[in-house]
Structure 1
Amino acid sequence: MRFANDVIATCALGIECDSLQNPTNEMYKMALASRPVGFVRTLKFLIALNIPKLSKYINADFFSKNVRSFFINLVKTTVQKREENNIHRSDMIDLLIEARNKNSNLNWTYETMTAQVMVFFMAGFDTISTALSFCCYELALNPVIQEKLHQEILNTLYSNNNKLNYDIIKRMTYLDMVISESLRKWPPALLVGRCCTQAHKIPPLRDNEVEVLLNAGDKVLISVFGIHRDDQIYPDPDCFDPERFTEVNKKSRNPYCYLPFGLGPRNCVAARFALMEMKTMLVQLLINFEIVTTDKTQIPLKIGKAHMSLSSEKCIWLGLKARKTENR
């Protein structure tokens, strides 16, 4: 979580905070306080998401006053400082300032700008942490796959004078396959919500089913986890197999059967950002360490029931074994 917090803080707000060295920094504490955990906060989140009029009527604020004040003041101070000193960082704050200045009809207050930042923040804080945790878990349980990935990383870096940048990470095809399979087996977003724009009939597939009629305006929840674990789409779905995501195998499947970021015009706008963040973290981790199981590692892993997003029943306990210098 600390890694995800620092990346978003830098890329969205232009703020440097080392949450590993300084775990009690204000940004990280407020990030933890903004998470949708616990029954009451989860209920408020669901009401705000699905019945916004009711949420406004009962004044069911999802964020506490302290969290709201902290982020609004942070965005306000950052925007004012940049405009006064003509500072540009090519991050989300810059994009919001540019959008506001180019369109005079956008009467954006600091609260409105903060809301955009918070959507980005909430979407990438827990989800990235969850996705990386489950991916590391699978690598620990599958040392052959982990070693193959490690060798790809070493070979790619060696052929590029040990330089690491965006283009080099994009060239690591097996890395992309490993992360894709991890997101297939353990999608952080268990459900995807959509609103129907026109009437549609879903015919029954089995004798005991009935036809379902969807009208325009109906809201639908799609089970990402259910689709990703469907053995008719992904044979032996509980098996961790990155080979499912070779170019040949991907083309042989219906593209709508893989939904970690959703699909279509309403898909996750930060999908590429999230993937690059995960890939960068795994490359740096596997260069220096081997991920291993410990006595505390739960095998097989069981899904927790306390949160509305993907979580493990117990903490994901893993060990890191330093790699020999000559293998780096």
Structure 2
Amino acid sequence: MAWPDDFGTRFTLFVDTEEEFDWTAPFDSASRSTSAMAALPDGHKRLCEGGGAPVYLIDHPVATAPAAIDALREVVANGGAVGTQLHPWVNPPIQEAICATNSFPGNLPEQLEAAKLDTLTDEIARAFGTAPRIYRAGRYGIGPATARLLADRGYRIDSSMRSRYDYGGHGGPDFRAVGNHAFWLDRRAGLAELPLTTVFTGRVRAGGERLYRFLGEIPRGRGLFARTGMMARVAMTPEDMPLDDALEAIRVALGEGVRVLNFSFHSPSLTPGFTPYVRDAADLKAFYGWWDAVFALLARRNVQAASQSDLIVALDRIRA
């Protein structure tokens, strides 16, 4: 998919806006606390001041919690946008066994995936007065029916594919062959895929996915290559991605001609103690420092934020 020339090179920030849960425990349909959402308005302000235009992809616990909705309404009033993220284990109707395989919504029977999507889409539309247009499957769990279900419901962008990652060992999809460029899932319906950006950095990064797979078969091979600057896989997120690696990944992505760099993080990371990535105040300070440095590099490279509206207007121009 070729973005319009005057669209320039842009970046997006899609936030997985979700409940808090124990990342080391089994999936639990009763884990629906959303207390970390209280930090969202201040976090949104800081991200926007840095140059971001966040889209908050919200799941069912967030979409149905009054305090969380109030926080999001404040964010929307200050330039934010709301989309959809489907965590099936907390999203009615819950008819499936709660297990790792079924945590990927695309693994569910099509009728059940559709019913969950309808429930969540309707809740978001009721809370915010407009239907969501951007979707992410929880755990990046897109399935064979997902694109059709999204197109039928008027969604315009899916961001369920995490470039260069493989979740097959847990029963999920394999995205190792997916690159960083946007592409059509259904051009007639105007539904595009915008993968989460992930690039290979280092002196032998030209080896790409084939070399990275080979290194995975060698004990500690990937870690050794990353530590010695030979090759690393770097996703566009502050969560478990060192700042220097992220800055180099941005330079690489721009050098490879990626027109839309897609960044992400989990909303509970805005409050210490709710994710493995932000455990205390020092981690939170580093989290915002990461964004400050990333936004500064993007500004120097004249890479501006793309809002939800910017993206959809550009898609309409491409499809016309």
TM-score by length of 2: 0.27
Instruction: Give 1 or 2: higher helix fraction.
Output: 1
Q: Which has the larger radius of gyration?
A: 1
Task: With a CA cutoff of 8 Å and minimum separation of 6, indicate the structure with the bigger relative contact order.
Answer: 2
Instruction: Give 1 or 2: higher strand fraction.
Output: 2
